[in-house]
Amino acid sequence: MEKILVLHGPNLNLLGKREPEIYGRTTLADINAMIVARAKEAGIEADFLQSNHEGVLVDALQEATEKGYAFVILNAAAFTHYSIAIRDAIAAISVPVIEVHLSNIHRREEFRHHSVISPVVMGQIAGFGADSYMAALEVVIRRLAEAKA
């Protein structure tokens, strides 16, 4: 069974309570449950990690290959805009990473418009709330099916 890793960055543990006008009322547990259900249908195992600490996310990225993950879905949250450490960790691994954001970062404050990780990820999906994660998962499912064909 293929495995994927879903990484959630800082403050995403507050989803459902934090700025619901921007991030909605869906909780992180809700998002994870949606991913598990769809991944299971596709025969994929999903593991999750949320951290408010940059180094924990870097460690998880660095360990992705040895742990056998086929893909990483990453919402780096605020780290998207300034974490060269996360950018370099993504560039250093062979596991493809898909960048996701709940909100459309390009319609928000100027400092959120730039992603330092975008140049080293497979692609970016933003602005669709929890569906951003689900769209990334559908890409993963399709890519894994194509690799088996």
- Among the listed residues 8, 23, 69, 133, the single catalytic one is 23
Let me know if 35 is exposed, middle or buried by CB neighbors in 10 A (0-12, 13-18, 19+).
Answer: buried
Q: Is 101 a catalytic residue?
A: yes
Which is catalytic among the residues 8, 69, 101, 133?
A: 101
The predicted pLDDT at position 110 comes to: 78
In order along its 149 residues, the chain shows pLDDT tens digits of 899 999 999 999 998 887 777 777 899 999 999 999 999 999 999 999 999 999 999 999 999 999 999 999 999 999 999 999 999 999 999 999 999 999 888 777 676 768 999 999 999 999 999 999 999 999 999 999 999 88
Residue 72 has a pLDDT of 98
Question: What phi, psi does 86 have (nearest 5°)?
Answer: -70, -40
CATH of domain 2-148: 3.40.50.9100
Residues 97 and 60 sit within 8 Å (Cβ to Cβ): no
Structure-block tokens of residue 136: 């990334």
